[in-house]
């Protein structure tokens, strides 16, 4: 199982005990706007999504979204990880954070650690990321991480496009 420590963060697999955190994260306005409404209307819904969708990704070694927590007090602040999507040829770097922890460099720190993991432990040579063309914060982060715009994937119902970014590792 993946367990990574950075200067400020602990990255580990999600467990059933993360249900409340997943419920909170997936119901933030930013997450619903840019990642999608997973219809987690109750803690029970969050538990089912966590155990039947998120944790199932771990069946493939190194894959899945991992819990990002502050190293000092183990406060969960977001998720980050590697996802194999049927719609993409390459592995996708995905992430999302609670609003109180945005803009403090945590997303960069965790994503950089996951990129190192992908290169060194999984021998991946390339990663991609998809995002809403209106998600300026995400695009800025991807650019800082070395990703480049590769094209529009599909139009989105709210306007704009789902865009693809890629980086060689």
Per-residue pLDDT tens digits for 124-134: 999 999 999 98
The pLDDT, as a whole number, for residue 1 is 63
pLDDT (mean) for 34-56: 93
* Cα–Cα dist 91/88, whole Å: 7
* Cα–Cα dist 99/27, whole Å: 11
In sequence order, what DSSP letters do the residues of 14-39 get, joined into one string? --GGGHHHHHHHHTSHHHHHHT----
- Mean per-residue pLDDT of the chain: 94
**159 or 63: which carries more pLDDT confidence?**
63
pTM above 0.75, yes or no: yes
> Three-state SS for 112?
helix
pLDDT (mean) for 105-113: 98
pLDDT band at 115 (very low <50, low <70, confident <90, very high): very high
pLDDT digits (tens, 9 = 90+) for 152-162: 888 887 778 89
- If one counts the domains in the chain, the total is 1
Phi/psi-derived region of residue 13, left when phi > 0, alpha when psi is between -120 and 50, beta in every other case: beta
Using a pLDDT cut of 70, give the percent of the chain over it: 99
pLDDT digits (tens, 9 = 90+) for 87-103: 899 999 999 999 999 99
Sheet holding 76-83, edge to edge: 4-5, 9-13, 64-70, 76-83, 92-97, 126-132, 161-168, 148-155
Query: CATH code at 29?
Result: 3.40.630.30
Domain that holds residue 83: 4-168
Of 61, 34, 40, 6, the residue nearest 139 (C-alpha):
34
The answer to whether 156 and 132 are in contact (CB under 8 A) is yes
The answer to whether 95 and 131 are in contact (CB under 8 A) is no
């Amino acid at each position: 199982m993946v367990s990574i420590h950075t200067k400020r963060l602990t990255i580990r697999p999600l467990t059933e005990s993360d249900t409340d955190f997943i419920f909170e994260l997936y119901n933030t306005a930013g997450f619903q706007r840019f990642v999608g409404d997973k219809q987690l209307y109750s803690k029970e819904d969050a538990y089912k999504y966590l155990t039947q969708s998120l944790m199932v990704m771990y069946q493939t070694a190194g894959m899945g979204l991992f819990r990002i927590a502050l190293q000092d007090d183990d406060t969960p602040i977001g998720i980050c990880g590697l996802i194999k999507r049927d719609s993409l040829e390459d592995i996708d770097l995905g992430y999302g954070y609670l609003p109180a922890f945005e803009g403090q460099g945590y997303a960069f720190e965790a994503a950089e650690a996951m990129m190192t993991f992908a290169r060194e432990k999984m021998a991946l040579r390339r990663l991609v990321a998809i995002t809403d063309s209106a998600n300026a914060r995400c695009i800025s982060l991807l650019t800082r991480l070395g990703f480049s715009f590769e094209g529009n994937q599909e139009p989105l119902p709210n306007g704009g496009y789902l865009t693809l970014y890629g980086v060689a590792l």
